Amino acid sequence: MNGGFPAVRPRRLRRTPALRRLAARTSVRAPDLVLPLFVKEGISEPQPVASMPGVVQHTRDSLRKAAAEAVEAGVGGVIVFGIPAVKDARGSAADDPDGIVQQALRDLVADVGDATVLMADLCLDEYTDHGHCGLLTDAGDVDNDATLARYAAIAVAQAQAGAHVVGPSGMMDGQVAAIRQALDGAGYPEVVICAYSAKYASAFYGPFRDAAECAPRFGDRASYQQDPAAGDALREVLLDIDEGADIVMIKPALPYLDVVAQVAAAVPVPVAAYQVSGEYAMAEAAAANGWLDRDRVIMETLTAIRRAGASIILTYWAAEAARRLS
Ligand code: PBG
């Protein structure tokens, strides 16, 4: 203290916008952002998703347009989710070379090619009639090891269609190893695996399940996705890296920033975080009511996720934020 006044004054660095900019340690850049996109088979017009204002289920054509605009805005990549016209017990459409995601990937390869990173979500829940992320046993449990063969086939189909990155999101044990082996065996050693490594059984996926039409018909995902109260994130992440994951992902983002920080401090690979549908819906709903300043909330949450240590962020605001950042 200096005559009763503080000599050390953190506020000095906050006085002008230029000082604050100089003192910043965290930045959000357009190429850090990845835009999730939904493409639905057999529709002729894009369908709005009621619980995600501004998000639609795309036709093949509207998907091309949305991806081109996102690339134009400077995003780092897009990740495609497919909704097939027909679902069955084994999710046959997921690895059909003419399945909706494979068709969409070929469209995007033709349009934007290597100008962006084309990612494909690799899971079964959008494709199975029961809505679970794997094959079921007769007793109705998700059969881990039988599911791995399905994931291997989907990975190869997505690679064949031109995905640069596959994103296994089903949380089966051994999925990354099975997919790496399949990709290498099929002649795709260059295809990247971005593993949803720490993925929690979260209520924040609610709106996504409307968008992707993949809510489980019975039960829940608690026997394969992580328990929010468990301490197994690092174990899951290290296993995935050991099995060949090139990028590891934490999901959801904002309620799990402690996990993002813990993982980012521990691993030598890029860490991604998925700002999920419920995070988006909460902010959009509050903003629509005039309760939150939407634009500031978007940038503040993205900054917080980057500050926690994620280098890549999957967010439904990716194109909009990228436009604002560039
Ligand atoms: C599973 C998958 C889900 C999400 C991404 N991949 C849903 C789930 O696990 O139930 C959720 C993404 C979001 O909520 O935005 N294929």
DSSP string, 37-89: EEEETT-SS-EE-TTSTT-EEEPHHHHHHHHHHHHHHT-SEEEEEEE-S--BT
Ligand 1 pocket check: which of 52, 169, 210, 301 to mutate, most ligand atoms within 8 Å of Cβ?
169
Question: Where residue 52 sits, what CATH number does that domain have?
Answer: 3.20.20.70
Question: What is the pLDDT, as a whole number, of residue 1?
Answer: 61
Question: What is the pLDDT, as a whole number, of residue 166?
Answer: 98
The alpha-helical segments, DSSP class H, found in the chain are: 17-23, 60-73, 100-111, 144-160, 175-185, 206-211, 233-243, 257-266, 277-288, 294-308, 318-325
| pLDDT, average across residues 220-228 | 94
Mean pLDDT of the chain: 97
**pLDDT surpasses 80 at 246:** yes
**pLDDT surpasses 80 at 233:** yes
**pLDDT surpasses 90 at 236:** yes
* Coil, strand or helix at 146: helix
Tell me whether residue 115 is in a domain. yes
**pLDDT surpasses 80 at 26:** yes
Question: Over the stretch 95-114, which tens digit does the pLDDT of each residue have?
Answer: 999 999 999 999 999 999 99
Tell me whether residue 3 is in a domain. no
- Is residue 252 a contact partner of residue 276, using CB atoms and an 8 Å limit? yes
- Rounded to whole angstroms, the Cα distance separating 191 from 212 reads 25
As for how many domains the chain has, the answer is 1
- Rounded to whole angstroms, the Cα distance separating 142 from 134 reads 6
Q: Is 205 in the pocket of ligand 1 (CB under 6 A)?
A: yes
CA–CA distance from 168 to each of 23, 134, 177, 200, 251 (Å)?
Answer: 38, 12, 11, 14, 12
Catalytic residues: 199, 251
**pLDDT surpasses 70 at 319:** yes
Q: Which domain holds residue 223?
A: 27-325
**pLDDT surpasses 90 at 305:** yes
Q: Is 158 in the pocket of ligand 1 (CB under 6 A)?
A: no
Q: Is 276 in the pocket of ligand 1 (CB under 6 A)?
A: yes
| pLDDT, average across residues 151-175 | 98
The radius of gyration of the chain's CA atoms, rounded to the nearest angstrom, is 20
How many Å separate Cα 61 from the centre of its chain?
A: 22
Helix axes 294-308, 277-288, angle to 10 degrees: 150
Tell me whether residue 16 is in a domain. no
Tell me whether residue 63 is in a domain. yes
Q: On the CB side of 15, how many CA atoms lie within 13 Å of its CA?
A: 4
What is the Å distance from ligand 1's center to 309 Cα?
22
Ligand 1 nearest-atom number relative to CA 196: 6
Token couple for 301: 């949450």
Ligand 1 nearest-atom number relative to CA 206: 14
Q: Is 275 in the pocket of ligand 1 (CB under 6 A)?
A: no
Question: What is the pLDDT, as a whole number, of residue 3?
Answer: 81
Tell me whether residue 300 is in a domain. yes
- Confidence bin at 4 (pLDDT 50/70/90): confident
What is the Å distance from ligand 1's center to 131 Cα?
12
Tell me whether residue 1 is in a domain. no
Taking the complete model, does pTM exceed 0.75, yes or no?
Answer: yes
- Rounded to whole angstroms, the Cα distance separating 32 from 314 reads 8
Ligand 1 pocket check: which of 172, 249, 276 to mutate, most ligand atoms within 8 Å of Cβ?
276
* Coil, strand or helix at 193: strand
